[in-house]
Amino acid sequence: MGSNNIPIHIVEDTKYPFEETIDFTIQALDTDTKFPFIVRIPSWSTKSVVKVNGQAVEYKADKNNLVSIDRIWKAGDKLTLEFTPEVKLSVWKERSRAVERGPLVYALKMNANEKFLDDVPVQDGPNLWYYQHTSTDTWNYALMDVPAEAMSTHYVVNTDKTAAVNQNDGYPWNVKNAPITIKTKGRQMFNWRPYNKSAGPLPYSVMFASEVSEKVEDIELIPYGCTTLRITQFPITGYHSAE
């Protein structure tokens, strides 16, 4: 509802969080009306662009990252937000790193084998069942301590514009249909072993090579929500520029 109780119908069109553009179109407005159109700019987007009808406009975000575009609006007007996500590494337990890009956190891509189990022990209760997921893929990778100037080449983002994000090919939140992948490099960490059929305690990140493989391998990351088996916090080890 706009000023003077004038009804407004706004349609949002986006593939966010898999793409960086959000369009808001004023679908119906009985009369041209002046009102503030308020949107929020995520803190991770440092070079955002705000457009009105395809033309970039100046804006200023407040302390809550809210932007107000106050103008006379009419039916058919379009407000567009263009965000600028970048790959960043956040620090977690044992000096591990998590890979983040924009609104998404990423995990190691692993092919899971699903098995239906209906022979749950009696002490757990009657008629219980669950699915067990296992994988034979290598999982105990350490990421390398990459200098800032090498991040864009060491973490290569691939956005599949034709994947399930277009909602014609199925559900996007799974390994098969993950619309975005990040390819990077990793080295196996020998002292990170399974425990009780799960990943064991996260080892402390090291800057020396005695506990990690000399072999540098290509690994692929996908959005956390697309995974079933999840390795999200990675130990960090020394960076090798010659790979």
> DSSP letter string over 196-235?
TTEE-PPPPP-SSSTTB-S--EEEEEEEGGG-SS----B-
Using left for φ > 0, alpha for ψ between -120 and 50, and beta otherwise, residue 125 falls in left
Query: For the chain, what is the domain count?
Result: 2
Supply the pLDDT for residue 243.
44
> Same structural domain for residues 220 and 118?
yes
Supply the pLDDT for residue 117.
81
> Same structural domain for residues 63 and 117?
no
Supply the pLDDT for residue 81.
98
> Same structural domain for residues 138 and 158?
yes
User: Is residue 183 situated within a structural domain?
Assistant: yes
Supply the pLDDT for residue 116.
87
Supply the pLDDT for residue 207.
64
> Same structural domain for residues 35 and 118?
no
Which domain covers residue 21, as residue numbers?
A: 3-82
Supply the pLDDT for residue 35.
92
Only one residue has tokens 């975000």, namely: 61
d(CA 121, CA 123): 6
Q: Judge contact between 1 and 7, C-beta under 8 A.
A: yes
Q: Judge contact between 205 and 157, C-beta under 8 A.
A: no
Q: Judge contact between 76 and 195, C-beta under 8 A.
A: no
Domain stops at, among 31, 56, 82: 82
> Same structural domain for residues 91 and 58?
no
d(CA 58, CA 226): 37
User: Is residue 206 situated within a structural domain?
Assistant: yes
User: Is residue 242 situated within a structural domain?
Assistant: no
Supply the pLDDT for residue 233.
96
> Same structural domain for residues 177 and 211?
yes
Supply the pLDDT for residue 41.
95
Supply the pLDDT for residue 182.
97
Phi, psi of 222 (to 5 degrees): -135, 165
> Same structural domain for residues 209 and 91?
yes
User: Is residue 229 situated within a structural domain?
Assistant: yes
Is 144 exposed, middle or buried (CB count within 10 Å of its CB: 0-12, 13-18, 19+)?
Answer: buried
Supply the pLDDT for residue 127.
64
Phi, psi of 194 (to 5 degrees): -65, 150
Instruction: Please list the pLDDT of the chain residue by residue as tens digits (243 residues).
Output: 445 678 889 999 999 999 999 999 999 888 999 999 999 999 999 999 999 999 999 999 999 999 999 999 999 999 999 999 999 999 999 999 999 999 999 999 999 898 888 776 655 566 677 888 889 999 999 998 888 899 999 999 998 755 545 555 568 899 988 999 999 999 999 989 998 888 888 888 876 556 888 899 999 999 999 999 999 999 998 765 544
One-letter identity of residue 89: L
Supply the pLDDT for residue 29.
86
Domain stops at, among 82, 102, 132: 82
User: Is residue 243 situated within a structural domain?
Assistant: no
Q: Judge contact between 158 and 182, C-beta under 8 A.
A: yes
> Same structural domain for residues 94 and 60?
no
> Same structural domain for residues 75 and 98?
no
**Residue 189, beta-bridge partner list:** 212
